[in-house]
Structure 1
């Protein structure tokens, strides 16, 4: 017996079960893996030779992977701010968008008052919401658009901005109380735009001309920013408002709204400086960082491109433990490490996907009951932090792997659902099999006949 099989055999413990249990398992199991030409029709009469086996010590290889980029455009979400995360590094978020030219015209007696930017919090916070947020507004100096060979903009996309701010907010945002954030903008810029309307200038005669004049706005974190806030990104929740009044005996206050335009090109730029963290040497590529190089743990924060890959290298050898073999069920339990999520939001939905040897996702693992993607059924143990876990049914995956070839073999990748991965900074750190606090667990149930 070679060393691989020797290790595999040493990981297995066997539980004898009654004839009734075997009948029940065989009757209720829709998916199986058994050796060709063999059935269990004649073996129930000899239960001493039939084993119902559970193995929970199959080797699991884990690593943290850095994706090249993540789509962040057209997600109706603005992310702005910066946060020093002890595990993921300094995370900086900024957003870019275009503005729509309104159809309004100015009355003869109109007089300029002020210019402001209005944005609406969506409730998302990465960091302590009681700390200071500083948001700076800059003019964009290039046309915001995807590259000629692409349809999307990414967390790595960027466009030149002016060096002088058009406005600044510095204070505390109450994400579940404040309905609108008011950012005072430059009166010089406001008066300039007002005069363009008053004079019916070419710059405000059409949307194209207006975009040549003001390509867009970029909202970026100021030096006093200590957290990242999320805001709604729609025509009704992102507004540059020009205030004016009509001169006369009774002052009549009025305004013109420039709303979000072309949401397909609104995107969030997310940067990560991982200096001084366990991920400092993480770079894009198929290798990533093995869990034993990062404290027996792996990391997930999808919008910064960080995901976890899982492989079960000896799974394909499992049928060799006996003459005849039938896989009944397999499950995977992924455990966030206690103490790493006290002040951070865990991804509510963590998708388990199949990926090839280049870390390209080829499919999501379906729920065996409803056929939809599995999100892990997160349970949070707020008391002891011992049972917080995502749980997955990997029966079909294991069967496919046992029958796979070098071309069709797949690993597993853990990544939040597509929308969450593109709009939130939720993160988790999970333990490998050697982690002292919380460990990943795999259980495989099978029938074998000697």
Structure 2
């Protein structure tokens, strides 16, 4: 009889949801009609937005730089800090200094309008590169003191999808010559010597423009190819005309924990400007029936299903078979400059918005919000779907009131600034909905 149940249940997965409990008899020719497959999709949904207190942005292996402005998310700026070191301290006495600059290699990540020009300024750090006392990482709110006078700046048109392109920012020539002379004259002859003399760099974008945020890659080695770093160029004169006399010293980021991004935003004038701390959730009724998520700054969407716990009271003998939550992004809130991601991360959070775990399905596989993209030009059927089977089972089998909700965020949200606006209740009734299919016997 169990085999018959499974075959019949699969057939019934094709039914659509109704506005009330819909009951389908299972195997009426062979068993009693009180065994039913039921679909319920009238759960109360409470939706809102909150902001994580801070995100670790060191050890992400991505330099994030840029500035964007948005009516919903305010003015966002990404600034990067990093230490640079060198492993080669041998320069011939015949060598002649040429120039110094900072090379940044694209890693293909971008957010915003890349047709607009951007300006980066390079500054020298004035304090040793280490996290605050009693901490072992840097966060999106971290900062280090730097010289207000820039070492150099560069205005450019981005090419973030280029696999072989980079940008070059010329740095103060006198600084480069000073470093060059100290190495050549053996005043600096080790990595420790250098980092005691030169703490590192920070790169600051033009914060007055609405342009883009770009990602740059680096490797913790002296290799120049596809690597970001500070470089000194010099020549050596010799009598061999067939030998290349041009040389370069690459000052590279020694490890991923020696780089971090400060990502900040000004929410003044937006509907979520009153996000004070992680425990503060702004209800969607106060944000025009919209909820929000953005990486980098920790703005997160919260979806709570308070009546889900009453599902088991409908019958003493029942079991859930599947569960799906769907939600739609706000129409016209996304385009090529702010595209929808194919999948979003989903976490379980408690009543204080503390992350409990990542969401999993009934088989303990990580469950994501998966984009279902409408192929027509109006995108009216574009939505995300989440397998909630594991969450429902947790609530269904718990003897206590867990008071859990789910949080929508971006995958790698500590090294991206992607955003999504979720429509809680739009005119097409394409609102947030939970549908649970269960067997009552």
**TM-superposition CA deviations, 1:37-93 (whole Å, max 9, x none):** xxxxxxx32x1x454322212111111011100111111100011111222111100
Alignment of 1:58-69 (within 5 A): 58-69=43-54
Q: Does 1:199 align with 2:196?
A: no
Query: Which residue is 1:241 aligned to?
Result: 231
SS at 2:179's partner residue?
A: helix
Query: Which residue is 1:187 aligned to?
Result: 173
> TM-score of the superposition, structure 1-length normalised?
0.85
SS at 2:253's partner residue?
A: strand
SS at 1:208's partner residue?
A: helix
Q: Distance in 1 between matches of 2:88 and 2:318?
A: 73
Q: Distance in 1 between matches of 2:132 and 2:399?
A: 38
**TM-superposition CA deviations, 1:310-342 (whole Å, max 9, x none):** 111111122333565433321111221111112
Query: Which residue is 1:394 aligned to?
Result: 388
**TM-superposition CA deviations, 1:123-145 (whole Å, max 9, x none):** 11111111111111111111122
Alignment of 1:91-170 (within 5 A): 91-170=76-155
Residues 1:113 and 1:397: Cα distance change in structure 2 (over 3 Å): same
1:423 to 415, 418, 439: 415
Q: Does 1:442 align with 2:434?
A: yes
Worse-matched range after superposition: 98-107 or 218-227: 218-227
Cα offset for 1:169? 1.3
Query: Which residue is 1:362 aligned to?
Result: 356
Q: Distance in 2 between matches of 1:173 and 1:396?
A: 43
Q: Is the 8 A contact 1:310 1:411 kept in 2?
A: yes
Query: Which residue is 1:296 aligned to?
Result: 289
Q: RMSD between aligned alpha carbons?
A: 2.3
Q: Is the 8 A contact 2:361 2:390 kept in 1?
A: no
Residues 1:446 and 1:173: Cα distance change in structure 2 (over 3 Å): same
Q: Is the 8 A contact 2:26 2:36 kept in 1?
A: no
Residues 1:243 and 1:388: Cα distance change in structure 2 (over 3 Å): same
Please list every run of 5 or more consecutive structure 1 residues that lacks an aligned counterpart in the other structure: 1-9, 24-43
Q: Distance in 2 between matches of 1:356 and 1:157?
A: 26
2:37 to 42, 52, 62: 52
Q: Distance in 2 between matches of 1:408 and 1:175?
A: 45
2:406 to 412, 415, 440: 412
Q: Does 1:347 align with 2:333?
A: no
Query: Which residue is 2:199 aligned to?
Result: 215
Cα offset for 1:413? 1.4
**TM-superposition CA deviations, 1:264-316 (whole Å, max 9, x none):** 12111101011221111122132311111111111111311111111111111
Alignment of 1:247-396 (within 5 A): 247=237, 252-322=245-315, 324-342=317-335, 343-368=337-362, 371-383=364-376, 384-396=378-390
Residues 1:118 and 1:106: Cα distance change in structure 2 (over 3 Å): same
Cα offset for 1:424? 1.1
SS at 2:413's partner residue?
A: helix
Worse-matched range after superposition: 206-215 or 377-386: 377-386
SS at 1:137's partner residue?
A: strand
Q: Is the 8 A contact 2:73 2:267 kept in 1?
A: yes
Residues 1:301 and 1:180: Cα distance change in structure 2 (over 3 Å): same
SS at 1:378's partner residue?
A: strand
Residues 1:97 and 1:122: Cα distance change in structure 2 (over 3 Å): same
SS at 1:282's partner residue?
A: coil
SS at 1:304's partner residue?
A: coil
SS at 2:372's partner residue?
A: coil
Q: Is the 8 A contact 1:56 1:442 kept in 2?
A: yes
Q: Is the 8 A contact 2:85 2:191 kept in 1?
A: yes
Cα offset for 1:116? 0.9
